[in-house]
């Protein structure tokens, strides 16, 4: 056993070293090529329609699931591939390059199940995680409320124990996959007087009495991924669906977000990569003043800056994922750094892409404007980029 642990440790160290050096082992590049083929053939053709009609891209989801990727990031013990966070990030990046909306279904179910995987009872894990890992079901993560976005401790949702059940009341807002998911990981206060120490978390099925979906938002971007209100009106939840301990929900939530923030960074990275590729192609084809606009130094400098930002974002995202895969402690700063820089990069690069395409970039004849709209939310969800700066500063001043 000691030899096995040592070999595993050497393998993780090898992956960490390569990731930090920005040269990945062959298996990661093989995964990238496989996901890119699937994304180009089975996801990209549906992207514009999903955005235009504001409809969930079921064909894209089915391509992802049928391609065997639904369980990529889930542990092997639950029927997944146990690929690790770096592999998951590469897959998310490639899908986001094809369709920002579709990239959300590549990681939201894992986020929803992360508290169950880490803290749930064996019974709870067995009941829900394999069904999500197989792609049979999908899951959502229900933390935010109107008055509790960045300030999670201000949530108003309540859970009251009643014999063998909890009764949940409240509203959850900005929930990704609302109405599509089968299972919802819901955070609510079991002890309102205890602040963030009074938050608990439950698995709620869409069929439970008192559960319903409210308003679906009309959004600037990611329009093919539903975002909406989850309504809990005397919702009856079995006590066995409590995840872990009462009052530990805040810690569970923050732990899950530390792991998901680099994945949002990967999503932003994929969108930025798509914008860079589009701009590079366009400036070589577009002619003005009897020459390609790619021949103008000002255009070349813009492309160079875009490329440098994308490369830097990729290095930070991969580094954060590799550190988490390695099992290093104190990864919150690396996670926030990756999410912050990649989100800001996506916004800059997609804006510059629109600029380089000029009037064409402002129309829906090209996906540049969709890239720009999709990129914006990567600066907002999973903790705004202002919150990421707070996290980074706190860790920096605390010596982490």
Joined together, the tokens standing for residue 176 give 């990704």
Q: How many Cβ atoms are within 10 Å of 58's Cβ, its own excluded? A: 13
Give the pLDDT band (50/70/90) at residue 5. Answer: very low
The pLDDT of residue 147 is 85
Residues 6+ apart with CB under 8 A from 201: 115, 185, 186, 187, 188, 242, 243, 244, 248, 249, 252, 253
Given a cut of 60, whether residue 297 has pLDDT beyond it is yes
Residue of 54, 44, 103 lying closest to 223 (CA atoms) = 54
What residue spans define the domains of the chain? 2-132, 138-247, 251-397
Asked if 124 and 116 count as a contact pair (C-beta separation under 8 A), the reply is: yes
- CATH of 138-247, picked from 3.40.50.300, 2.60.120.200, 2.40.50.1020, 2.40.110.10, is 2.40.110.10
Give the pLDDT band (50/70/90) at residue 151. Answer: confident
- On whether the 251-397 domain is CATH 1.10.1200.10, my answer is no
Tell me the per-residue pLDDT of 226-266, one tens digit each, with 9 for 90 and over.
Answer: 999 999 999 999 999 999 999 999 999 988 888 999 999 99
Q: Which CATH architecture has domain 2-132?
A: Orthogonal Bundle (1.10)
Given a cut of 90, whether residue 359 has pLDDT beyond it is yes
Tell me the per-residue pLDDT of 23-38, one tens digit each, with 9 for 90 and over.
Answer: 788 999 999 999 999 9
The pLDDT of residue 153 is 83
Q: Which secondary structure element, helix H or strand E, spans residue 44, and what is its range?
A: helix 44-53
The pLDDT of residue 328 is 80
CA atoms in the 13 A half-sphere facing the CB of 119: 23
Residues involved in catalysis: 382
Domains 138-247 and 251-397 equal at CATH topology level: no
pTM listed for this prediction = 0.92
Give the pLDDT band (50/70/90) at residue 351. Answer: very high
Given a cut of 60, whether residue 17 has pLDDT beyond it is no
The pLDDT of residue 314 is 97
């Amino acid at each position: 056993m000691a030899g096995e642990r040592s070999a595993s440790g050497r393998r993780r160290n090898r992956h960490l070293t390569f990731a930090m050096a920005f040269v990945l082992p062959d298996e990661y590049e093989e995964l990238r090529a496989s996901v890119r083929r699937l994304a180009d053939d089975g996801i990209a053709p549906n992207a514009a329609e999903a955005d235009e009609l504001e409809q969930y891209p079921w064909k894209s989801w089915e391509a992802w699931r049928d391609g065997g990727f639904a369980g990529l990031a889930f542990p092997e013990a639950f029927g997944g591939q146990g690929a690790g966070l770096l592999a998951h990030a590469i897959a998310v990046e490639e899908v986001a390059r094809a369709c920002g909306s579709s990239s959300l279904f590549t990681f939201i179910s894992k986020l929803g199940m992360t508290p169950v995987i880490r803290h749930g009872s064996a019974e709870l894990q067995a009941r829900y995680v394999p069904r999500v890992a197989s792609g049979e079901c999908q899951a959502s993560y229900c933390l935010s409320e109107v008055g509790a976005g960045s300030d999670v401790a201000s949530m108003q949702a309540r859970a009251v124990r009643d014999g063998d059940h909890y009764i949940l009341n409240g509203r959850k807002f900005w929930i990704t996959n609302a109405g599509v998911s089968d299972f919802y990981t819901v955070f609510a206060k079991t002890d309102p007087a205890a602040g963030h120490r009074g938050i608990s978390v439950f698995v709620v099925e869409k069929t439970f009495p008192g559960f319903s979906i409210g308003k679906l938002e009309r959004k600037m971007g990611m329009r093919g991924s539903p975002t909406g209100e989850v309504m809990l009106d005397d919702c009856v939840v079995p006590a066995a669906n409590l995840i872990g301990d009462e009052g530990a929900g805040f810690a569970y939530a923050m732990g899950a977000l530390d792991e998901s923030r680099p994945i949002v960074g990967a999503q932003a990275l994929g969108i930025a990569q798509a914008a860079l590729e589009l701009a590079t192609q366009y400036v070589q084809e577009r002619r003005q003043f009897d020459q390609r606009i790619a021949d103008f130094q000002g255009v070349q400098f813009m492309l160079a800056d875009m490329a440098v930002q994308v490369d830097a974002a990729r290095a930070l995202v991969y580094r954060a994922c590799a550190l988490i895969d390695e099992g290093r402690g104190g990864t919150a700063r690396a996670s926030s750094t990756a999410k912050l820089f990649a989100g800001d990069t996506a916004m800059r690069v997609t804006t510059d892409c629109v600029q380089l395409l000029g009037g064409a970039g402002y129309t829906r004849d090209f996906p540049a404007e969709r890239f720009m709209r999709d990129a914006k939310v990567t600066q907002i969800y999973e903790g705004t980029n202002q919150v990421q700066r707070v996290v980074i500063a706190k860790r920096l001043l605390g010596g982490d």
